[in-house]
Amino acid sequence: MDFLIIGITIVMSLVVGWSIGANDAANSLGTAVGSRVLTLKQAIILIMLFGFLGASLQGSYVTATIGKGIVPLNTLSRNNSRNIALVASFAACLWVVLATFWKMPISTSHSIVGAVAGAGLAVSAPVKWKVLGDIFICWILTPVGAAILGYIFFRVLQNILPRIIPRRYFKQVIAPLIVVSGCYVAYTWGANDVANSVGVLAGAEIIPIKIGIILGGAAIVLGIVTWGYKVIETIGSEIIHLSPIMALSAQLASSINVHVYTLMGIPVSTSHSIVGAICGVGLVKGIRVLNIHIMRDIILCWVATPFVSGVISFVILKGIIFFVK
């Protein structure tokens, strides 16, 4: 029975990784696709490569927080820690898959954090509320910080680049810069978000953290290939029409923003970061250029995410406990 539970938990965690790739691939090079610098196929290949690289090299920072920082899975009974890992993975995955189907760029970080907390409450585990509070504050700061950086970068770059790059060579010079900055976004995304897939596996000591990161990275790559195009369309063109300089500014702002939190071991939303950066860039030209209806739907999904995944996780685990007894 233990082997069955472990096997199902690993599969569910990898499905979370798949859903991360499907939903969050857009955060990396969706702006490059929207500004027509890259085709969808080219963007997906680069996201796969650099996302996996980020997960492999720096994915351990946030994995420790997901696995032990919210609910100390390594200190619980083996039965409770494995149940939390299984149910939290399922709840997070379910909500992310639904949001991806609706083409909404939600946060897999918020989903897994809410799910872990909900499952922990279901078994009366010690939830670290201070850590959750710190994470929540960073969730608010993430889109705000990205918007400010995006606004500043666009203000500066739109004045500097046309002056130093001859008009006839502008597209040839700006396109590689957009691709490089997008690859940096993919790297920081892989480093921060792989924990959402395998953090609970590492925390429950089901598999070693290094093996988990590799498996999670592979699952993310599969998600990118199979369903990643859906949200790329939303990020790339439905929030705002992006010029090449706007795309470059947004990607630089988002990647720097996420990388800082990754080095601090804080699971933040790359979705929030890139959407915030795009909004900051758009505000340079005035709020009228933003698609307010799309922004409203995205923000509603953001707010709902940790609560919905947490409630799903809590109810399912409580139901399991009730029927087992």
Predicted pLDDT at 229: 65
Q: Is 244 exposed, middle or buried (0-12, 13-18, 19+ CB in 10 A)?
A: buried
| 3 state DSSP class of 59 | coil
pLDDT tens for the chain, 325 residues: list them: 577 878 888 888 888 888 778 767 666 776 677 777 888 788 888 988 998 898 888 888 888 788 778 898 888 888 888 889 889 988 988 887 787 777 666 777 888 899 999 999 999 999 898 888 888 898 889 989 999 999 999 999 999 998 888 888 888 888 899 889 889 988 998 888 888 888 888 888 888 888 888 888 888 888 887 876 666 655 555 555 677 888 889 889 999 999 999 998 888 888 788 888 988 988 887 656 566 676 677 677 778 889 989 999 999 999 988 887 6
Residue ranges per domain, the chain?
2-324
Residue type, 214: I
Reported pTM: 0.80
Predicted pLDDT at 9: 85
Nearest to 59 by CA among 215, 262, 261: 262
52: its two tokens: 């996996």
Nearest to 43 by CA among 191, 242, 185: 185
